[in-house]
Amino acid sequence: MDDKKDVLDLGPFFHGTKAGLNIGELLQAQNLSNFQDKKSNYIYFTASLDAAKWGAELAAGDAQERIYIVEPTGEFENDPNLTDKRFPGNPTRSYRSKSPLKIVAELASWERHSEEQINHMLASLKELRAQGKALIID
């Protein structure tokens, strides 16, 4: 992706999580997925603040929800779990990479989705899992 026209998105990029991390740390693939009981082959991120909020709100665990501003250190691709399955054309600006993401900042404050919206999304994800439709292309 040396040529600017080949770049999927210029960012800024976000990663929503419940992990407490430091500026300068690298987020890497091969960590436990928030949505499957396995290690993920990719690290996921987005150029949409709304999508990053969902990442933080739906992440596993009870820790504080966080959104980090990140920089990809290598090539990345559209996230096929969203672009192919749910949102053709990638309006959520969701991506994944096998290369690390460097944390450059943490958003100090952001407005969460409503509890009603979060509970609805959690119920929808639970239903998809029960139907065996919560498969992630990884």
Identify the structural domains of the chain with CATH numbers, from first to last.
Answer: 4-130 (3.20.170.40)
Q: What percent of the chain has pLDDT over 90?
A: 52
Mean pLDDT of 12-24: 94
How far apart (Å, rounded) are the C-alpha atoms in residues 56 and 19? 9
Q: Is a pLDDT exceeding 80 seen at residue 7?
A: no
Q: Which of 108, 107, 97, 110 is nearest to 27 (CA)?
A: 97
Q: Is a pLDDT exceeding 60 seen at residue 5?
A: no
What confidence tens digit (pLDDT) does each residue in 92-112 have? Answer: 898 999 999 999 999 999 999
Q: Is a pLDDT exceeding 80 seen at residue 18?
A: yes
What confidence tens digit (pLDDT) does each residue in 44-91 have? Answer: 999 999 999 999 998 888 899 999 999 999 999 988 877 666 666 778
What confidence tens digit (pLDDT) does each residue in 114-123 have? Answer: 999 999 988 8
pTM: 0.83
pLDDT value, residue 130? 81
Terminus-to-terminus CA distance in the chain, angstroms?
22
Q: Tokens representing 103? A: 């944390």
Q: Is a pLDDT exceeding 70 seen at residue 131?
A: yes
Q: Which of 31, 2, 136, 12 is nearest to 70 (CA)?
A: 12
CB–CB of 82/94 below 8 Å?
Answer: yes
Q: Which of 9, 33, 10 is nearest to 137 (CA)?
A: 33
pLDDT band at 135 (very low <50, low <70, confident <90, very high): low
How far apart (Å, rounded) are the C-alpha atoms in residues 9 and 4? 10
How far apart (Å, rounded) are the C-alpha atoms in residues 57 and 62? 10
pLDDT value, residue 104? 97
